[in-house]
């Protein structure tokens, strides 16, 4: 083994140690190149499963090859941050109850980038991705050894389940990679497919977003089709859905307690059942909404979207029904 490879391996271990010190729960290093799952992703788009999420079609070339985000990029540090899978189920998906994860993870990835530069002694070009660019982060995470793709399409780690965010720091720096996660540990289990309230997992590893409650209550801007109203109302899904994760045996056994204060439920959500939260949302004015949901990922749906969801949960089919009992 030559000195360069030794240096790369030692630096890689130091980087992973520092990432954990910064608060990340999982970290691995991946080599870059053609994205293994890009053909499946493009077939998914072609099938119309993305619904109104037209932005997912942008940046196709970068999505197909992780060497393209910027010239000279050579390695990806892939991280995961738990958001508390042991928290009780509720009207808001667990990931969205506290502050926006994008900002927190970007800040930590930036801190990791700056630390590496100090250790190396010179500027290193880099770019952080947290669910916002044309990068297949699950692909990189599996390549970095962080887990496998569950039948519900979530990345599952054998130590902490799937209730975590993914991020990646791409660098113009050679780092010794981790071994990819090669095994699929779902076996014959189909609990996620069987439990999905709307049948959105149309086959193993394929989710039709247009049927998914998370898509319908977060990403979709149009009215929610009537065929899904009963499932949303009965489940009390005001924003998002965790059902396919809740039933996963890996989460039942290994999901972690909430330990990141930024992800704790904010006051406007904490302790409320679906009907109470829905009623509160329908009574909100824009200024009140902006104050209550400052720095919240729920702002993505905007007040109009949340009130649409609230009406469905309460069985009110139109905005004119909002004042009905």
Per-residue pLDDT of 241-278, as tens digits, reads 999 999 999 999 999 999 999 999 999 999 999 999 99
Q: Is residue 176 part of a domain?
A: no
The Cβ of residue 118 has, within 10 Å, a number of other Cβ atoms equal to 8
pTM of the model: 0.94
Helix (H) or strand (E) holding 310: helix 302-313
Residue 325 pLDDT more than 90?
no
| 32-35 long-range contacts, CB within 8 A, separation 24+ | 32/65, 32/66, 32/67, 32/73, 32/74, 32/75, 32/76, 32/170, 33/65, 33/66, 33/67, 34/64, 34/65, 35/63, 35/64, 35/65, 35/66, 35/136, 35/139
3-state helix, strand, coil in the chain (%, to 5): 45, 15, 45
Beta bridge partners of 81: 165
pLDDT band at 320 (very low <50, low <70, confident <90, very high): low
In a domain, 144, yes or no: yes
Task: Tell me whether residue 138 is in a domain.
Answer: yes
Q: Could you count the other beta carbons within 10 Å of the beta carbon of residue 217? A: 27
Q: Name the catalytic one among 131, 184, 194, 273.
A: 131
pLDDT of residue 235: 98
- Averaged over 20-33, what is the pLDDT? 97
Domain range spanning residue 14?
3-171
pLDDT at 200 over 80: yes
Strands 126-129, 164-171: pairing is antiparallel
Domain count, the chain: 1
Residue 245 lies in a domain: no
Q: How confident is the model at residue 19 (pLDDT cuts 50, 70, 90)?
A: very high
* Residue 62 is assigned to a structural domain of this protein: yes
Nearest to 209 by CA among 57, 49, 56, 46: 49
In a domain, 300, yes or no: no
189 falls within a domain: no
Answer whether residue 44 is part of any domain. Answer: yes
| 280 annotated active-site | no
What span, in angstroms and rounded, lies between the C-alpha atoms of 239 and 14? 39
**What pLDDT band is residue 316 in, cutting at 50, 70 and 90?**
confident
């Amino acid at each position: 083994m030559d000195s360069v490879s030794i240096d790369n391996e030692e630096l890689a271990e130091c980087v992973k140690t520092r990432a954990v010190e910064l608060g990340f729960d999982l970290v691995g290093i991946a080599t870059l190149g053609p994205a293994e799952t890009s053909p499946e992703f493009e077939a998914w788009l072609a099938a119309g499963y993305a619904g109104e999420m037209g932005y997912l079609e942008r940046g196709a070339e970068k999505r197909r090859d992780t060497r393209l985000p910027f010239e000279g990029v050579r390695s990806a540090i892939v991280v995961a941050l738990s958001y508390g899978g042991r928290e009780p189920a509720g009207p808001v998906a667990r990931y969205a109850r506290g502050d926006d994860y994008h900002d927190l993870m970007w800040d930590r990835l930036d801190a990791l980038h700056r630390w590496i530069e100090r250790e190396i002694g010179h500027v290193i070009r880099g770019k952080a991705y947290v669910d916002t660019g044309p990068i297949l982060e699950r692909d990189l995470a599996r390549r970095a050894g962080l887990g496998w793709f569950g039948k519900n399409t979530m990345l599952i780690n054998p130590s902490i389940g799937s209730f975590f965010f993914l991020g990646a720091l791409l660098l113009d720096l050679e780092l010794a990679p981790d071994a990819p996660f090669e095994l699929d540990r779902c076996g014959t289990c189909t609990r996620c497919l069987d439990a999905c309230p709307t049948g959105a997992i149309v086959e193993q590893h394929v989710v039709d977003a247009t049927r998914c409650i998370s898509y319908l209550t977060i990403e979709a801007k149009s009215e929610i089709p009537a065929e899904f109203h009963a499932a949303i109302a009965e489940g009390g899904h005001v924003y998002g859905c965790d059902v396919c994760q809740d039933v996963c045996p890996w989460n039942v056994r290994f999901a972690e307690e909430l330990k990141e204060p930024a992800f704790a439920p904010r006051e406007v959500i904490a302790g409320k059942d679906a009907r109470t939260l829905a009623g509160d949302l329908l009574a909100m004015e824009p200024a009140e909404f902006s104050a209550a949901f400052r720095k919240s990922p729920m702002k993505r749906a905007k007040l109009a979207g949340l009130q649409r969801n609230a009406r469905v949960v309460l069985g009110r089919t139109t905005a004119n029904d909002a004042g009905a009992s």
